[in-house]
């Protein structure tokens, strides 16, 4: 089997892109909206936001960073409460969405 330089570059680029999100990602983003499914990390002590391991208290800031959309302090507190509630139940899987200027989960 022969691989061209172009094919090799494509394979390397794909491998590098996969390493940026070590656990994968369910997020989708466009200019007006963002959605993600926040799940428990494999370690069980944090959650995954856009594939990046994040402590629950840092989730609102991480969502703002990856989405580019602001989150109010009230929404941030409510989101942390919802995630802590699920974490106390033993598993976290929460769909979050920003659309029409509002965050929801």
Calculate the dihedral angle through the C-alpha atoms of 42, 45, 63, 19, rounding to the nearest 10 degrees.
-40
Task: Give the total residue count for the chain.
Answer: 105
pTM beyond 0.85: the answer is no
Q: Going residue by residue through the chain (105 aa), what tens digit of pLDDT does each one get?
A: 788 888 888 777 776 665 555 555 678 999 999 999 999 998 899 999 998 999 999 999 999 999 999 999 999 999 999 999 999 999 999 999 999 999 999
Calculate the dihedral angle through the C-alpha atoms of 40, 56, 71, 35, rounding to the nearest 10 degrees.
-10
Scan for tokens 């070590």, then name that residue.
22
């Amino acid at each position: 089997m022969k691989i061209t330089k172009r094919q090799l570059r494509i394979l390397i680029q794909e491998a590098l892109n996969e390493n940026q999100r070590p656990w994968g990602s369910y997020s989708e983003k466009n200019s007006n909206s963002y959605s993600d499914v926040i799940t428990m990390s494999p370690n069980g002590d944090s959650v995954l936001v856009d594939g990046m391991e994040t402590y629950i208290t840092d989730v609102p800031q991480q969502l703002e960073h990856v989405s580019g959309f602001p989150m109010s302090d009230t929404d941030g507190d409510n989101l942390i409460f919802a995630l802590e509630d699920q974490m106390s139940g033993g598993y976290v899987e929460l769909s979050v969405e920003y659309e029409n200027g509002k965050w929801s989960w």
